[in-house]
Amino acid sequence: MLKTRYVITASLQLMVLSFFITTCSKKDTAAPPDLCLGVSYTIDYFKTESVGGANNGTIAINYPIGDTISYKLNNGTFQASRNFTNLAPGNYILTVKNQNNCTATITIAIFNYGPKYALVKQIISGYCGPCHYNGGNTAGKNFNTDSSVLFNWDRIKARAVDNVPTQMPAAPNAPLTAIDKQKITDWVNAGHRILD
Ligand code: HEC
Long-range pairs, 112-115, Cβ under 8 A, ≥24:
112/49, 112/50, 112/53, 112/194, 112/195, 113/49, 113/50, 113/51, 113/52, 113/194, 113/195, 114/51, 114/52, 114/190, 114/193, 114/194, 114/195, 114/196, 115/51, 115/52
Report how far ligand 1's centroid is from the alpha carbon of 170 (Å). Answer: 6
| 54 compared with 7, residue with greater pLDDT | 54
Q: Residue 25: what pLDDT?
A: 52
**What is the residue extent of each domain of the chain?**
44-112, 114-190
Residue 173 CA: nearest ligand 1 atom is 1
Question: What does the mean pLDDT of the chain come to?
Answer: 90
Give tens-digit pLDDT for 49-84: 999 999 999 999 999 999 999 999 999 999 999 999
> 44-112, what's its fold?
Immunoglobulin-like (2.60.40)
Nearest CA to ligand 1 atom 21: 139
Q: From the CA of 141, how far away is ligand 1's center (Å)?
A: 8
Residue bearing the CA closest to ligand 1, atom 16: 139
Task: Determine the average pLDDT of the residues in 5-31.
Answer: 56
